[in-house]
Amino acid sequence: MGEKVVEVKNLSMKYNLAKEGKISLKNYFKKVKNRELLFQEFWALEDVSFDVEKGDRLAILGLNGAGKSTLLKAIAGVIKPSKGTVKTKGKIVPLLELSGGFTGSYTGRENIFLRGAMLGFSTKYMEEHFKEIVNFSGLKDFLDVPVDNYSSGMKARLGFSISTVVNPDILILDEVLSVGDAKFKKKSFSKMMNLIENNDTTVLFVSHSISQVKELCDKAILLEKGELIMKGNVEEVCEKYEEIVNS
* Alpha-carbon gap, residue 186 to 109, rounded angstroms: 25
Nearest residue to 187 (alpha-carbon basis) of 164, 170, 155: 164
pLDDT of the chain, 247 residues: tens digit per residue: 679 999 999 999 998 765 545 555 656 556 555 665 556 678 899 999 999 999 999 999 999 989 999 999 999 998 999 999 999 999 888 877 666 678 999 999 999 999 888 878 899 999 999 999 999 999 999 999 999 999 988 888 898 898 888 778 898 988 766 656 778 878 888 887 887 777 788 999 998 889 889 988 999 999 999 999 999 999 999 999 999 999 8
pLDDT of residue 247: 84
The predicted model scores a pTM of 0.78
pLDDT of residue 197: 79
**Residue 132: half-sphere exposure toward Cβ, Cα within 13 Å:** 12
* Alpha-carbon gap, residue 218 to 198, rounded angstroms: 16
CATH architecture of 4-91+168-246: 3-Layer(aba) Sandwich (3.40)
- 60 close to 238: Cβ distance less than 8 angstroms: no
CA angle centred on 75, ends 69 and 187, rounded to 5°: 65
Nearest residue to 60 (alpha-carbon basis) of 2, 8, 97: 8
pLDDT of residue 108: 96
Question: Is the alpha carbon torsion for 179, 180, 181, 186 positive or negative?
Answer: negative
Q: Measured in whole angstroms, how far is the alpha carbon of residue 157 from the centre of its chain?
A: 15
DSSP helix/strand/coil, 222: strand
* Alpha-carbon gap, residue 220 to 235, rounded angstroms: 8
pLDDT of residue 133: 96
Indicate the domain borders of the chain.
Answer: 4-91+168-246, 99-166
pLDDT of residue 200: 80
At residue 175, what are phi and psi to the nearest 5 degrees? 55, 20
